[in-house]
Amino acid sequence: MSENQIYTLTVNGSQREVKDSWIGESLLYVLRERLGLPGAKGACEQGECGSCTVMMDGAAVCSCLVLAASAVDADIKTVEGLAPDGSLTDVQQSFINNGAVQCGFCTPGLIVAIHNLLDSQPNPSELEVREAISGNICRCTGYGRIFAAVQDVIEQRGATR
């Protein structure tokens, strides 16, 4: 593309310069194709499936619906930024332990959405969990093992409080 845009995004605590971009690129595209962060996935391009969920200034958003160039002032956190290298968050470990991962395409978006939920509401009811992740479509699991994974995290965190 001929349009040459340069701007800087704050992603997982780092300043990341975006060069030679087209102004119409979504945040999802820029994260995946320009910044080497393919954890957020594209599966619907219209904010229905939640696979592209990232945090912007503490709120979960569908990165497919955000223009990257409009996110210059935001603090962006992706699934890659949740745990230090070589480690897993409690939610990530619980997903593995409970069989909540099958194909895994929806998984990064769900992990981000669940961290977002538990950060704001440490002890959600089962129904609140369901509602919180109802914007994240999973086609493989039927959600049962995902609910179990979240429940385990709630109980573990409750026990250590």
C-beta closer to other proteins: residue 144 or 158: 144
* Alpha helix segments (H runs only) across the chain: 27-29, 90-97, 107-120, 126-132, 144-160
Cβ-contact 75, 10 below 8 angstroms: yes
Q: How far apart are CA 107 and CA 138, in angstroms?
A: 8
C-beta closer to other proteins: residue 43 or 56: 43
Q: Provide the 10 A C-beta neighbour count for residue 122.
A: 12
Q: Using CB under 8 A, count the residues that bind other proteins.
A: 63
What's the token pair of residue 45? 């391009």
Residue numbers 90-119 binding other proteins by CB under 8 A: 91-93, 95-99, 101-108, 111
C-beta closer to other proteins: residue 9 or 73: 9
Asked if 139 interacts with other proteins (CB under 8 A), we say yes
Asked if 158 interacts with other proteins (CB under 8 A), we say no
Asked if 152 interacts with other proteins (CB under 8 A), we say no
Q: How far apart are CA 152 and CA 54, in angstroms?
A: 23
- From the CB of 59, what's the least distance to other proteins, in Å? 19
Q: Which of 7, 38, 45 is nearest to 23 (CA)?
A: 7
C-beta closer to other proteins: residue 73 or 90: 90
Residue numbers 50-69 binding other proteins by CB under 8 A: 51
C-beta closer to other proteins: residue 73 or 107: 107
Cβ-contact 42, 32 below 8 angstroms: yes
What's the token pair of residue 38? 């393919």
Residue numbers at the binding site for other proteins (CB under 8 A): 1-2, 22, 24, 29, 32-33, 36-46, 48-49, 51, 78-80, 82-83, 88, 91-93, 95-99, 101-108, 111, 127, 129-131, 133-147
